[in-house]
Structure 1
Amino acid sequence: MKHSLPKRENQLSLISRMRYFLLILLIIFSQATWAQSGAVQGTVIDSNGDPLPGVNVVIKGTTNGTVTDLDGKYILNAASDDILIYSFVGFMSQEIPVEGRSEINVTLADDTSDLEEFVVVGYGIQRKSDLTGSISSVKAEELTRLPVSDVTQSLQGRVSGVQITSNSGAPGSGATVRIRGVGTLNNSDPLFVVDGMLLDNIDFLNPNDVESMEVLKDASATAIYGSRGANGVIIVTTRQGDFDTETRISVDAYTGVQQVARQIDLVNGRQFAELANELEQNVGNQPIYNEGEFGEGTNWQDQIFRTAPVNNVTLGASGGNQNTSFNLSVNYFDQKGVVKESEFERLTIRLNNQYKLTDAVTFGHNFSFIYNNQQNEPGVVGNAYRAYPIFDPINEDGDYTNTSPVGNPAAQFEYNSNNRNHSYRGVGNFFADVKFLKDFTFRTNLGLDLAFRDGKSFTPVYFVSPTQQNLENSVSVSNGRSRNILWENTVNYNTEWDDHRLNLLGGITTQSFYTESLSGSRRNLPGEDPSLWYLSAGDQTSQTNANTAGDWSMLSFLFRANYTFRDKFLVTGTFRRDGSSRFGRENRFGNFPSIALGYRLIEEGFMQDQTVFSDLKIRGSWGIIGNDKIAFYEGRPVVTGNQNAVFGQNEELLYGATLTRLANPFIQWEETVTSNFGLEFGMLDDRLIGEFDYYYRRTNDILVGVPIPAYVGASNNPVVNAASVENRGIDVTLNWRDNKGDFNYNLGIVASTVNNEVLDIGEGNEAIFGGAVGISGLLGSRTVVGESIGHYFGYKTAGVFQNEEQLNNTPTRGPEVPGDLIFEDTNGDGVVNNNDRVILGSPIPDLIFGFNMGFDFRGIDFSADFNGTLGNEIYNAKKQVRFNTYNFETSFLDRWTGEGTSTTEPRVTNGGHNYEVSDRFIEDGSFLRLRNVQVGYTFPAATLEKIRVQNFRLYVSGTNLFTISKYSGYTPEIGGGNVLGTGYDSGIYPIARTINVGVSANF
Structure 2
Amino acid sequence: MNIKNLKQIVLTVICLLGIGSATAWSQSIRVKGTVLDENGAGFIGAGVVQKGTTNGTMTDAKGNFEITVTQGAILQFTFISYVPQELPATQNMKVTLLPDTQTIEETVVIGYGVQKKSVVTAAISSITSEDLKIQSQTRVDNMLQGMSSGVLVTQGSGSPDSGSQVRVRGVGTIHNSDPLYIVDGMPAGSIDFINPNDIERIEVLKDAASGAVYGARAANGVILVTTKKGKEGKTHVSYDFSYGLQNPWRKPTVLNATEYAIMMNEGMLNDGKAPIYNDPYSLGEGTDWVDAIFDKNSPIVKHDVNVSGGNGKVDYSISGGYLSNKGTIGGSFDRSYYNRMTLRENVGVVIFDKTEERNWLNKLTFRNQISYAHIRSASISTNSEYGSPLGSALGMSPLDPIYADAQTEEKYKILYPDGYPYIIRNSAGVPYFIADAGVYNEQANPIAMLDMPGGRSSTDKIVAGLNTELNLFDGLKFRNSVSLDLAYVYGNSYSKEYFLTSKSYKYDTITEKETYDKDGNKSVTDKINYGSSASQTMDRYYTWQVENVLAYDKTFGRHTVNAVLGQSALRSTSASLGASANGLMYPYDTWKISVNNTLGKQENGDRNGWGSWNSIPYSLISY
TM-score, with structure 1 as normaliser: 0.43
Aligned counterpart, 1:821: none
Q: Hey, what's the Cα distance between the residues in 2 that align with 1:332 and 1:402?
A: 40
The 8 Å contact of residues 150 and 175 in structure 1, kept in 2 or not, is answered as: no
Aligned counterpart, 1:321: 311
1:775-820 deviations in Å (ceiling 9; x for gaps)? xxxxxxxxxxxxxxxxxxxxxxxxxxxxxxxxxxxxxxxxxxxxxx
Aligned counterpart, 1:534: 594
Aligned counterpart, 2:448: 411
1:391 paired to 2:400: yes
Aligned counterpart, 1:375: 378
1:252 to 240, 243, 259: 240
The 8 Å contact of residues 241 and 319 in structure 1, kept in 2 or not, is answered as: yes
SS of the equivalent of 2:292 reads helix
SS of the equivalent of 1:257 reads strand
Aligned counterpart, 1:272: 260
Q: Hey, what's the Cα distance between the residues in 1 that align with 2:579 and 2:271?
A: 46
Aligned counterpart, 1:354: 348
The 8 Å contact of residues 171 and 336 in structure 1, kept in 2 or not, is answered as: yes
- Displacement of 1:520 after TM fit? 2.0
The correspondence of residues 568-967 of structure 1 with structure 2, limited to 5 A, is none
1:516 to 575, 583, 600: 575
Q: Hey, what's the Cα distance between the residues in 2 that align with 1:139 and 1:167?
A: 25
SS of the equivalent of 2:245 reads strand
Aligned counterpart, 1:186: 175
Aligned counterpart, 2:324: 334
2:467 to 427, 431, 446: 431
- Displacement of 1:481 after TM fit? 1.2
Q: Hey, what's the Cα distance between the residues in 1 that align with 2:607 and 2:275?
A: 47
Aligned counterpart, 2:150: 161
Aligned counterpart, 1:862: none
The 8 Å contact of residues 161 and 379 in structure 2, kept in 1 or not, is answered as: no
The one-letter amino acid of 1:530's match is T
Q: Hey, what's the Cα distance between the residues in 2 that align with 1:371 and 1:556?
A: 31
SS of the equivalent of 2:596 reads helix
The correspondence of residues 954-993 of structure 1 with structure 2, limited to 5 A, is none
1:294 paired to 2:283: yes
1:263 to 251, 259, 278: 251
Larger RCO: Structure 1 or Structure 2 (Cα < 8 Å, ≥ 6 residues apart)? 1
Q: 1:265 to 1:318 in 2, by over 3 A?
A: same
Q: Hey, what's the Cα distance between the residues in 2 that align with 1:484 and 1:284?
A: 70
SS of the equivalent of 1:172 reads coil
Give identity over the alignment, percent: 33
Which stretch shifts more, 454-463 or 331-340?
454-463
The 8 Å contact of residues 373 and 420 in structure 1, kept in 2 or not, is answered as: yes
Q: 1:433 to 1:302 in 2, by over 3 A?
A: same
Q: Hey, what's the Cα distance between the residues in 2 that align with 1:140 and 1:383?
A: 42
Structure whose residues are more often helix by fraction: 2
1:344 to 338, 344, 348: 338
Question: What is the number of residues matched between the two proteins?
Answer: 452
What's the Cα RMSD here? Answer: 2.4
SS of the equivalent of 2:433 reads coil
SS of the equivalent of 1:219 reads coil
Aligned counterpart, 2:67: none
SS of the equivalent of 2:447 reads helix
Q: Hey, what's the Cα distance between the residues in 2 that align with 1:546 and 1:211?
A: 42
Q: Hey, what's the Cα distance between the residues in 1 that align with 2:292 and 2:368?
A: 49
The one-letter amino acid of 2:584's match is L
Gapped regions of structure 1 (runs ≥ 5): 1-46, 48-88, 92-108, 559-1003
Q: 1:204 to 1:443 in 2, by over 3 A?
A: same
1:547 to 604, 607, 611: 611
The 8 Å contact of residues 150 and 172 in structure 1, kept in 2 or not, is answered as: no
Aligned counterpart, 2:64: none
Aligned counterpart, 1:214: 203
The one-letter amino acid of 1:403's match is A
Aligned counterpart, 1:898: none
Q: Hey, what's the Cα distance between the residues in 1 that align with 2:82 and 2:226?
A: 23
Q: 1:280 to 1:491 in 2, by over 3 A?
A: farther
1:573-592 deviations in Å (ceiling 9; x for gaps)? xxxxxxxxxxxxxxxxxxxx
The one-letter amino acid of 2:592's match is L
Q: Hey, what's the Cα distance between the residues in 1 that align with 2:283 and 2:252?
A: 21
Q: 1:518 to 1:281 in 2, by over 3 A?
A: farther
SS of the equivalent of 1:550 reads coil
1:486 paired to 2:545: yes
The 8 Å contact of residues 190 and 200 in structure 1, kept in 2 or not, is answered as: no
The 8 Å contact of residues 492 and 536 in structure 2, kept in 1 or not, is answered as: yes
Q: 1:481 to 1:339 in 2, by over 3 A?
A: same
Q: Hey, what's the Cα distance between the residues in 2 that align with 1:410 and 1:339?
A: 10
- Displacement of 1:498 after TM fit? 3.1
The correspondence of residues 197-208 of structure 1 with structure 2, limited to 5 A, is 197-208=186-197
The 8 Å contact of residues 149 and 173 in structure 1, kept in 2 or not, is answered as: no
Q: Hey, what's the Cα distance between the residues in 1 that align with 2:162 and 2:546?
A: 30
1:452 to 475, 488, 494: 488
Gapped regions of structure 2 (runs ≥ 5): 1-37, 39-80, 84-96, 354-362, 382-387, 407-429, 508-530
Q: Hey, what's the Cα distance between the residues in 2 that align with 1:416 and 1:191?
A: 36
- Displacement of 1:269 after TM fit? 2.1
Q: 1:182 to 1:544 in 2, by over 3 A?
A: same
SS of the equivalent of 1:445 reads strand
TM-score, with structure 2 as normaliser: 0.69
SS of the equivalent of 2:135 reads coil
1:826-845 deviations in Å (ceiling 9; x for gaps)? xxxxxxxxxxxxxxxxxxxx
The correspondence of residues 21-36 of structure 1 with structure 2, limited to 5 A, is none
SS of the equivalent of 1:411 reads helix
1:896-916 deviations in Å (ceiling 9; x for gaps)? xxxxxxxxxxxxxxxxxxxxx
1:8-37 deviations in Å (ceiling 9; x for gaps)? xxxxxxxxxxxxxxxxxxxxxxxxxxxxxx
- Displacement of 1:351 after TM fit? 0.5
Larger Rg, first or second structure (1 or 2)? 2
SS of the equivalent of 2:499 reads strand
The one-letter amino acid of 1:319's match is G
Aligned counterpart, 1:141: 130
SS of the equivalent of 1:520 reads strand
1:302-338 deviations in Å (ceiling 9; x for gaps)? 2111120111111001112332211011011111111
The 8 Å contact of residues 173 and 219 in structure 2, kept in 1 or not, is answered as: no
Q: Hey, what's the Cα distance between the residues in 2 that align with 1:286 and 1:433?
A: 87
Q: Hey, what's the Cα distance between the residues in 2 that align with 1:280 and 1:482?
A: 60
Q: Hey, what's the Cα distance between the residues in 2 that align with 1:283 and 1:556?
A: 72
1:476 paired to 2:535: yes
1:605-633 deviations in Å (ceiling 9; x for gaps)? xxxxxxxxxxxxxxxxxxxxxxxxxxxxx
Q: 1:287 to 1:460 in 2, by over 3 A?
A: farther
- Displacement of 1:287 after TM fit? 6.1
2:227 to 235, 238, 253: 238
- Displacement of 1:260 after TM fit? 0.5
- Displacement of 1:202 after TM fit? 0.5
SS of the equivalent of 2:591 reads helix
Q: Hey, what's the Cα distance between the residues in 2 that align with 1:111 and 1:165?
A: 39
1:891-935 deviations in Å (ceiling 9; x for gaps)? xxxxxxxxxxxxxxxxxxxxxxxxxxxxxxxxxxxxxxxxxxxxx
Q: Hey, what's the Cα distance between the residues in 2 that align with 1:381 and 1:401?
A: 17
The 8 Å contact of residues 149 and 172 in structure 1, kept in 2 or not, is answered as: no
SS of the equivalent of 1:537 reads coil
Aligned counterpart, 1:402: 434
SS of the equivalent of 1:444 reads strand
